[in-house]
Amino acid sequence: MIEDRSGHGAVMCLRELYIGLREGLDLCRQDGDDALRRFMDEGLDQIDDFVVANSLTPITKDALRATEETRLKKQRDDAALRGQEAQAKICAGGDAQRMLGGLRSASLDKLRAELAAALSVPRPPVFNPCL
């Protein structure tokens, strides 16, 4: 198993985290999330550019986006099956609330700087070590 030892983090792990947070923003919508949602979309686009440019196995941005869209669709379908009341409970507490609360309170400039630092060193995009 290949591990990232750059000190900048495993890019595929970061990608999964961004996708999960983006899902959370969609499912647990709040007023004022639009700028954060745009940042997450832009961040995923930058991460995907990095993956395409640095992957040891050729991959296209379209292929990356297809896996992302499949995951987002599954999350939307699962949320619809749970119903609005159950989804509201999920959004009101637990891991979703902690993660999204931290994201919502973060400075977009700080988030941009952290992403730029993570993508500043070309290297194979790997999953490990993941947080």
What is d(CA 34, CA 46) in angstroms, rounded to the nearest whole number? 18
pTM: 0.90
CA-to-CA separations, 105 to 50, 71, 102, 109, 115, in angstroms, rounded: 27, 26, 5, 12, 17
72 is in which domain, residue-wise? 11-118
Structural domain contains residue 44: yes
Residue 87 belongs to some domain of the structure: yes
Q: How many structural domains are present in the chain?
A: 1
Q: Tens of pLDDT along 96-125? A: 778 888 899 999 999 999 999 999 999 999
Q: Is residue 70 part of a domain?
A: yes
Tens of pLDDT, residue by residue, the chain (131 residues): 689 999 999 999 999 999 989 988 988 888 999 999 999 999 999 999 999 999 999 999 999 999 888 988 888 888 888 888 888 888 887 777 788 888 999 999 999 999 999 999 999 999 999 87
pLDDT at 9 (0 to 100): 94
Q: Does residue 129 lie in a domain region?
A: no
Q: Decide if 90 is inside a domain.
A: yes
